[in-house]
Amino acid sequence: MRDRHIHIEQDSSLLREIYQRVDEELTFGGKTKILLVSKFAFYFVWMVAAYAGIYVASNTVLFFVSYVAYGLASVLMGFNFAHDFSHNTIFKSKKLNQVCFTIIYALLGAHAEAWKYRHIHSHHFAPNVKDYDSDLQITSLIRVEPSSPIRWYHRIQHIYAPLAYTTYSLYWVFVKDFVIYFSDRSNPQRMKIYWHISFWLQKSFYLSALLIYPVLFSNHHWSTVATAFLAMHLVQSLFLLFTFFITHHVENTAYFATDANGYISTSWVTNQIKSSNDFYPFSNTANFIFGGFNNHVAHHLFPHVHHVHYPQLNRILYRVLNEHHIKPNETTFFGGVLSHLRHLKNMGA
């Protein structure tokens, strides 16, 4: 997509300086592969153990715990590996990255190809810009963007939003993906037979693994399986959506407008910095958990760099931005959740 941001020479100079300083100062240590393998082993063992628990747990409570644990593990695999696979930052082979990305998304039940296209070509192009960022195309129940229509019920959206968020992953898997599959004509990949085969295979795999097989082979009644499946999505959805939302939709994040010709009212670099929010940007622990989602400014400026380098990269990036009197948006995780809810309250006023 052709860039529609306006040119600001001062910002272009800043971006060149950021890239130069990071190129000069960022060191890629030899422990990166060990860290990646260790992290993958940790989340993979967690996921396999949780999934096995679905079949071996005779106690209903442990059965529910196994489902919820699987749901959280699959989300964290998505954060820590699928996201980087989508940006081709793990393997040199794009095909290998794509295969691994698709497998992990199948574990989540989401259509990998549809999400990747919208993420790379829409969200990263112009985050928080209406008509460009597909992540703003959410239900009318929630108003996060200042120029979107306001309705009477938005006055209490900060109250009902957490309840609505508990349904998100169910909505994504069983509604959103199907709407995109049947109605979105913007993705040129849909002309390929692989697009359609992968969609139905991923959905079939997920339904079989998380509903059909547990009904057939676990020690529990189908109604218990269905209830545990819903409980998994409830917990999974809250964690997933709050993590997504606090990276872009808190009180201080910016929403840039476009003119009549579709040009965005700021430069690309300012759009990326001001529309993003970091939480624990220098923490290796947070980076291990959230897979770089907590380092969102760095990710939008350096999507081609693997997230394991973001804590070190942020020390360079923040230093350059501070030298230019630019303060990135930053919260804690729970501070970000509260700021997001206050943002919803402001958007409903």
- Taking only the tens place, the pLDDT of each residue in 301-341 is 999 999 999 999 999 999 999 999 999 999 999 999 999 99
The one-character DSSP state at 141 is T
* Position 1 in a domain: no
Round the CA-based radius of gyration of the chain to a whole number and report it: 21
Whether pLDDT at 191 is above 90: no
How confident is the model over 122-129, as a mean pLDDT?
94
* Position 4 in a domain: no
What does the mean pLDDT of the chain come to? Answer: 95
How confident is the model over 222-240, as a mean pLDDT?
98
Helix (H) / strand (E) containing 238 = helix 222-246
How confident is the model over 11-38, as a mean pLDDT?
91
The distance from CA 9 to its chain's CA centroid, rounded to whole angstroms, is: 31
pTM of the model: 0.93
Closest CA to 151 of 160, 161, 139, 143: 143
**Residue-range definition of the domain harbouring residue 20:** 9-348
For the chain, where are the E strands, in sequence order?
A: 277-279, 329-331
* For the chain, percent of residues with pLDDT exceeding 90: 86
326 CB-contact burial (10 Å; exposed 0-12 / middle 13-18 / buried 19+): middle
* For the chain, percent of residues with pLDDT exceeding 70: 100
* Position 3 in a domain: no
Whether pLDDT at 240 is above 90: yes
Whether pLDDT at 184 is above 90: no
* Position 324 in a domain: yes
Position 194 scores a pLDDT of 86
Q: Which residue has 């380098």 as its token pair? A: 309
Q: What pLDDT band is residue 138 in, cutting at 50, 70 and 90?
A: confident
Ordered DSSP codes for 255-321:
---B-TT--BSS-HHHHHHHT-EEESTT-HHHHHHHTTTT-HHHHHH-TTS-GGGHHHHHHHHHHHH
* Position 51 in a domain: yes
Chain segment 61-111, per-residue pLDDT in tens: 999 999 999 999 999 999 999 999 999 999 999 999 999 999 999 999 999
Position 1 scores a pLDDT of 63
* Position 2 in a domain: no
* Position 213 in a domain: yes
Q: How far is CA 181 from CA 114, 140, 186, 208, 273, in A?
A: 8, 20, 11, 20, 32
Number of folded domains in the chain? Answer: 1
Position 245 scores a pLDDT of 97
How confident is the model over 211-239, as a mean pLDDT?
97
Whether pLDDT at 53 is above 90: yes
Whether pLDDT at 187 is above 80: no
302 CB-contact burial (10 Å; exposed 0-12 / middle 13-18 / buried 19+): buried
* Position 179 in a domain: yes
Whether pLDDT at 32 is above 90: no
